[in-house]
Amino acid sequence: MSTAKYANQFVCDLHAYEPGKPIEETARELGLDPDSIVKVASNENPLGPAPMALEAIRGAASEMHIYPDGGGYKLRAALAQKHDIEFSQVVLGNGSNEIIELLCHSFLNPRAALIAAEHAFVVYKLMATLFGAKYVEVPDPNFVHDLDAMAEAVTEETRLLFIANPNNPTGTIVGEEEIARFMAKVPEHVVVVFDEAYHEFLTDAPDTLKYVREGRNVAVLRTFSKAYGLAGLRIGYGLCAPQVAAILQKARQPFNTNEVAQRAALASLQDVAHVQATVENNAVGLSFYEEAFQQRGLEYVPSVANFILVNVGDGDAVFSAMLKEGVIVRAMSGYKLPGWVRISIGTESENSRALAVLDQVLGSQ
């Protein structure tokens, strides 16, 4: 049946997002023990959720017959206070990916354009396609966003411009001065989105919230999926200029974030020790890989996030060979980087195992 001809063309045109390969699926396919598998494919927190979040999750279980607080009062109030902005400027999402979708839903149409960097997070492109908008890709020499070129790419039809900072999958960042120069040039009809999913890992993060406080057309996206270790619960947020927040609130479903996620996120904010341990573990792991790649003469992109991109010659082949050994990394052919794989930083033992398997695979090619 050609049901597709009755469906929305933009939906049919979409190539679905390919997530990191799940542990259970890998175990099933290869006949391995799930506990023996190392997944370093989706930039998750190798230390798990915060102990205080686990307690909140257990506490919430007996109240699951009640709808969540659709207004997300407690969590939004805590986030507003933490970031020194108004309550109404905080928008919750079912992961920050949902905020990306809400932005596209609100601002894109077949006459609009979205601008992003050539090796930007792939979800921007998927969403532009979904809403029939034009997707404009700006070259990023040495895998770093070129904000001057991105400002020059703006036209009358541009509605959204995404700056992933740091970017995934490259792990690179643009600094405060470049951002200031860029913000001085960008016109009012463009909403600038700073996607800061890895913000907590930065030691010297550029201040983008000042543009939100100034009332510029800006949205800053953060998430509990990475440093806070709650990827499975799906909770993220946008810190937005009031006029942007008001639109996103209209576009969302009434209960878009669930009660367990809201409570766990709130508890995570209190568990400062867990985030600190996560960030320290990550710094150790990043140095471990950078040193190892230097010793082996492997090209890599210096990263400030919780993953690292390395050139292994044939990314798909190395991904498959490592998978057979029970180590899941991410092949990058979908990002037009067929030679590369992206490895998330794990615990010390996960990092050692991943490197040993990479060595074994590269040695036997």
Q: Which residues bind ligand PLP (CB under 6 A)?
A: 43, 95-97, 121, 164, 168, 195, 197, 223, 225-226, 231, 236
CB contact at 8 A, 135 and 30: no
> Cα separation of 241 and 260, whole Å?
27
Q: In sequence order, which residues have a C-beta less than 8 Å from that of residue 336 and are 6 or more positions away? A: 118, 119
Q: To the nearest whole angstrom, how small is the minimum distance from the Cβ of residue 209 to ligand PLP?
A: 17
CB contact at 8 A, 254 and 115: no
Helices assigned H by DSSP within 204-332:
209-213, 242-251, 259-270, 272-296, 315-324
Q: To the nearest whole angstrom, how small is the minimum distance from the Cβ of residue 235 to ligand PLP?
A: 7
Q: To the nearest whole angstrom, how small is the minimum distance from the Cβ of residue 120 to ligand PLP?
A: 8
Our CB check for ligand PLP shows the closer of 94 and 281 to be 94
Our CB check for ligand PLP shows the closer of 164 and 343 to be 164
Our CB check for ligand PLP shows the closer of 223 and 262 to be 223
CB contact at 8 A, 102 and 130: no
CB contact at 8 A, 319 and 334: no
CB contact at 8 A, 266 and 80: no
Instruction: Let me know the angle formed at the C-alpha of 145 by 140 and 146, rounded to the nearest 5 degrees.
Output: 80
Our CB check for ligand PLP shows the closer of 19 and 254 to be 19
Strand-pairing partners, residue 328, are 39
Q: Quick one: DSSP state of residue 154? A: -
Of 64, 80, 97, nearest in space to 234 by CA: 97
For strands 307-311 and 300-301, give the pairing.
antiparallel
Q: To the nearest whole angstrom, how small is the minimum distance from the Cβ of residue 294 to ligand PLP?
A: 25
Our CB check for ligand PLP shows the closer of 144 and 362 to be 144
Q: To the nearest whole angstrom, how small is the minimum distance from the Cβ of residue 41 to ligand PLP?
A: 12
Q: To the nearest whole angstrom, how small is the minimum distance from the Cβ of residue 247 to ligand PLP?
A: 20
Q: To the nearest whole angstrom, how small is the minimum distance from the Cβ of residue 259 to ligand PLP?
A: 18
Strand-pairing partners, residue 192, are 161, 218
Q: Is the dihedral of CA 39, 42, 43, 48 positive or negative?
A: negative
Our CB check for ligand PLP shows the closer of 300 and 307 to be 307
Q: To the nearest whole angstrom, how small is the minimum distance from the Cβ of residue 256 to ligand PLP?
A: 12
Q: Which long-range contacts (CB under 8 A, 24 or more apart) does 104-108 make?
A: 104/128, 104/130, 104/131, 104/133, 104/160, 105/131, 105/251, 106/247, 106/248, 106/250, 106/251, 107/159, 107/160, 107/191, 107/247, 108/132, 108/133, 108/159, 108/160
Place of tokens 């009012």: 188
Q: Which residue is nearest to ligand PLP (CB)?
A: 95
Our CB check for ligand PLP shows the closer of 197 and 357 to be 197
Our CB check for ligand PLP shows the closer of 236 and 326 to be 236
Q: To the nearest whole angstrom, how small is the minimum distance from the Cβ of residue 194 to ligand PLP?
A: 11
Our CB check for ligand PLP shows the closer of 223 and 257 to be 223
